[in-house]
Amino acid sequence: MFVTTCGRANQEVIEKAHHTADTLFIPYVPRKKRSIRHHMKTYDEDCLVIGKERLELHTREENSEPFFFHPNSASFRIKRLLRGEKDPLIEAADLQEGMSFLDCTLGLASDSIIASHIVGETGNVTGIEANKYISYILVHGLKGWISPLQELNSAMNRITVINGQFQEELKKLAEDSFDVVYIDPMFEDALTDSHGINPIRQWASYTGVTKMGIEEAKRVAKKRVVLKEHYQSSLFKEMGFEVMKRPSAKFHFGVIRL
């Protein structure tokens, strides 16, 4: 992995690229009017591109889409909540204002944004992301994205991002640290059909959920552990979750009440 800039980078962007390279301990490569594909082929590495508006992860894989932060489905989900409609995750987690929420599998951060909107300024939302480059992009994207929807901006700004494997990060947390611990693992054979997640698939962690991981989640959670999984998943039964079935949905929520 190396860092470069967008095509027409000003001094501010170049300095930001140098800072990013130093922070992530990866090389900085000047763009020099060369294409991103040229640099990746030359150095045989993927790259993180620093632009004026956003950060992008590019892979050497042919016909791949770059990954960058976007609120994705969080925007229309918040609009639904503002209209008084319900959200399946919020229902499963029984999330309310002032509560604390730990998202063990942050990914695109959509679920954490919705949780942050619900718990409000008096609550607390923390997300764990395994990939350090995704984490870096999310930290900057959540703080820097400006939406016409102020409720969305506020929700994004309140999220804390941790880089690490969630099973290991859970061990570092004290008992009853969060009201709700949420796990939404990404498996290669159980991905949604949403094109919005396509760019993150190659960067995502496919670490499975273990019994020990669920036990740690139960130790950290005060009220609930929530698992989102494919409706045919055996994990619900194996791990002792009560399934909240969703008609016509490919994914259901499992709940352990504490």
pLDDT tens column, 16-25: 999 999 999 9
Q: Does domain 74-257 have CATH number 3.40.50.150?
A: yes
Name 248's Cβ contacts closer than 8 Å, sequence gap at least 6. none
- For the stretch 179-195, pLDDT in tens is 999 999 865 444 444 44
For the chain, the first-to-last Cα distance in angstroms comes to: 42
Are residues 126 and 102 in contact, defined by beta-carbon separation less than 8 angstroms?
yes
SS (H, E, C) the chain: CEEEECCCCCHHHHHHHHHHHHHHCCCECCCCCCCHHHHHHHHCCCEEEECCCCEEEECCCCCCCCECCCCCCHHHHHHHHHCCCCCHHHHHHCCCCCCEEEECCCCCCHHHHHHHHHHCCCCEEEEEECCHHHHHHHHHHHHHCCCCCHHHHHHHHCEEEEECCHHHHHHCCCCCCEEEEEECCCCCCCCCCCHHHHHHCCCCCCCCCCHHHHHHHHHHEEEEEEEEEECCCCHHHHHCCEEECCCCCCEEEEEEEC
> Among candidates 105, 158, 111, which has minimal Cα distance to 129?
105
Report pLDDT for 193: 44
> Distance between CA atoms of 9 and 97, rounded to whole angstroms?
42
Which residues partner with 128 through β-bridges? Answer: 162
Segment 158-180 mean pLDDT: 96
Segment 2-18 mean pLDDT: 95
Residue 209 pLDDT grade (very low, low, confident, very high; cuts 50, 70, 90): confident
Report pLDDT for 248: 82
- The rounded percent of the chain whose pLDDT value lies above 90 is 77
- For the stretch 134-149, pLDDT in tens is 999 999 999 999 999 9
Reading across the β-sheet that carries 178-183, which strands appear in turn? 159-163, 124-129, 100-103, 178-183, 221-230, 251-257, 242-244
pTM score of the predicted model: 0.90
Write down the domain spans for the chain.
2-58, 74-257
Report pLDDT for 107: 86
Report pLDDT for 188: 43
Would you say residue 236 has pLDDT above 60? yes
- For the stretch 54-68, pLDDT in tens is 999 999 988 788 899
Name 65's Cβ contacts closer than 8 Å, sequence gap at least 6. 198, 199
Tokens of 61: 């894989």
> Distance between CA atoms of 148 and 157, rounded to whole angstroms?
14
> Distance between CA atoms of 113 and 75, rounded to whole angstroms?
9
Q: CA dihedral in degrees (100, 101, 104, 107; nearest 10)?
A: -130
